Amino acid sequence: MDFKFKSLIELVRYFKDEKTCYDFLEAQIWHEGQPACPHCGSLHVYTRTHRNKAKAEQGIREYKCAEKGCNKNFTSTVGTIFEGSKLPLQTWFAAIWLCTTSSKGISSANLAKQLSITQKSAWFVLSRIREMFKETCPDMLLTGMVEVDETYVGGKEKNKSKKVRAANREAGRIASGGKKQANPIDTKIPVLGIYQRGGKLRIQPMVAPKREILLPLLEKNISKDATIVTDGLPSYKGLGNTYKLHVVVNHAKDEWVNGEYSTNNIEGFWSIFKRGIIGVYHQTSPKHLHRYCDEYSYRFNNRDGSSVEKFARAIQTVANARITYKSLIGK
């Protein structure tokens, strides 16, 4: 890579204008910088003068597809998280840098202050970034030694907003009259974590840690020839009938390591995840919790490399990840 910047200040200096940002974006999302139509995928395109006078003066290129069945105009931002945004790419790049290099994330309030934008815009920017952090190969099954564990997200019911309490009632986590169930954990959102030793991590919210819910999720993510390591949760019983080997580390009996088997890696990740949710974001709604899970799992899976390498890898994922504000807030 011929670009080197180790801090946010150096990044802003490097991307001194929009043309530099667009040149960088095109180099990352197109093979060898060869323009590809985002509508039909054709490489048969040609460059034209940008119809937007201001952008044309900045040297930003517009392209036109030469395929007869398409024949559409486009820029490198079409089909990406940047499409339709009024914010300059320099602001977007700064937001992506902060999101990928902050180990526990950055709140929309903090991002708004650092980038001089509104909190609403910052929240939308972060939501779009989380959309591009989705697992790109969800059908690839995890194998080898796989640690499985669950955690819970959410504080006391009395401290939650009316919207969250209403969502809990609708999901049956608390009684319709507002009275809490006997177990306070029922008002929290369970999150399943699956980690392949030396490989990928996947986390996702679930309705409840019940056997009929857990098993389909495990079968969707883990190969049958894997060795699964879990704690003593009753819902995990019988996994040895489906997988190569099921090893239980019984935490109830103060057992944390069983030979070479443990769930220490996934539990170590939970410490980062929970501290980020509590210390950075303070609260998350059940509706958007899966996006925060995508953010934290992406950052964990891409933790190796320098800051600039993490940033470049993130830019390469911006295509086919667009989400509109209407769809984001809609029911």
CB 287 within 8 A of CB 103: no
3-state SS, one letter per residue, for the chain: CCCCCCCHHHHHHHCCCHHHHHHHHHHHHCHHHCCCCCCCCCCCEEEECCCCHHHHHHCCCEEEECCCCCCCEECCCCCECCCCCCCCHHHHHHHHHHHHHCCCCCCHHHHHHHHCCCHHHHHHHHHHHHHHCCCCCCCCCECCEEEEEEEEECCCHHHCCHHHHHHHHHCCCCCCCCCCCCCHHHHCEEEEEEEECCCCEEEEECCCCCHHHHHHHHHHHECCCCEEEECCCHHHCCHHHCCCEEEECCHHHCCCCECCECCHHHHHHHHHHHHHHHHHHCCCCCCCHHHHHHHHHHHHHCCCCCHHHHHHHHHCCCECCCCCHHHHHCC
- Per-residue pLDDT reduced to its tens digit, 275-303: 999 999 988 888 899 999 999 999 999 99
| CATH number of the domain where residue 218 is located | 3.30.420
pTM of the full predicted structure? Answer: 0.86
Q: Is residue 181 part of a domain?
A: yes
Amino acid identity of residue 301, one-letter, is N
Give pLDDT, residue 182. Answer: 40
Q: Is residue 321 part of a domain?
A: no
Report the range of poorest mean pLDDT among 25-34, 40-49, 158-167. Answer: 158-167
Q: Is residue 192 part of a domain?
A: yes
- Per-residue pLDDT reduced to its tens digit, 159-170: 666 776 777 677
Q: Is residue 83 part of a domain?
A: no
Q: Which residue has the higher pLDDT, 154 or 240?
A: 240
Q: Is residue 86 part of a domain?
A: no
Question: Please, which residues bridge with residue 145 across strands?
Answer: 227
pLDDT exceeds cutoff 60 at 180 = no
CB 314 within 8 A of CB 6: no
pLDDT exceeds cutoff 60 at 176 = no
Q: Is residue 226 part of a domain?
A: yes
Give pLDDT, residue 49. Answer: 77
Total structural domains within the chain: 1
Q: Is residue 8 part of a domain?
A: no
Q: Is residue 81 part of a domain?
A: no
Structural domain of residue 199, as residue ranges? 145-287
